[in-house]
Amino acid sequence: MLSLFSWSMYFLSFTPLWLAVLFVDSRSMASQIRNRGTEIISILCILLGMVVALFVLVHCLRKARKEDRQECILSEAKEQKSVTADFILAYILPLLAFDFTKWDQVVLFLIFFVTLGLLCIRHNYLILNVILDLMRYRFYECIYLNADNTEIHRTVISQQRLNARIGLGIKVYPLNDDYALDQFSMHRN
């Protein structure tokens, strides 16, 4: 998985936080005439980050769909359902404690956010992404057999309900050692 793709996945996973910060900064700008610099910089950075991250995500998903995929037989698939609530409660809500209208609080937030990002990307903890969820992608812990009958354990990102496809063929594009992208296949075992 490309580093830029990983950072995009990480950045987009905080979409609820970015929307909250945009609201807080916009409200602060409307109520204050002076000292709007922090809010303007914050809004511009968030909007630019969202545009770049969305472009990278869509580009990488399109590229992965065009690349050669491996034919596999799906042995097990378990949808990751509780990670959304866990992620929001553990990571996004605590970040709302920062006052995004003050530059020193923004610097403290950025230190925390970048540190968390480095850890998430280093350990491939990219299992939640609100934008992918809106695009109807789901995350599944899967075991599948490749053409050599080798058992592979990966988190598969799919728009299909993989738990209903046990024993059937799927086409996967490995993004890295932990993640793969599924493209629906009609082949039966």
What is the pLDDT, as a whole number, of residue 187? Answer: 39
CB 105 within 8 A of CB 98: yes
Q: Work out how many domains the chain is built from and give that number.
A: 1
What is residue 35's predicted lDDT score, i.e. its pLDDT? 67
Q: Measure Cα distances from 184 to 43, 51, 69, 105, 131 in Å.
A: 39, 28, 11, 46, 20
Q: What is the pLDDT along the chain (189 residues), one digit of tens a residue?
A: 457 888 888 899 888 889 988 998 888 888 876 667 778 888 999 999 999 999 998 888 787 777 677 888 899 999 887 666 667 767 777 777 888 778 888 888 889 889 988 888 888 777 667 788 888 888 899 999 888 888 999 888 888 889 888 988 888 888 777 788 887 543 333
Q: How far apart, in whole angstroms, are the C-alpha atoms of residue 104 and residue 164?
A: 50
Residue 105, pLDDT score? 86
Maximum CA pair distance of the chain?
Answer: 68
| Residue-number span of the structural domain to which 61 is assigned | 3-188
- Calculate the dihedral angle through the C-alpha atoms of 114, 103, 85, 83, rounding to the nearest 10 degrees: -10
Q: Residue 101 has what DSSP assignment?
A: T
Q: What is the pLDDT of residue 176?
A: 73
Give the integer Cα–Cα distance in Å for 114 and 168. 41
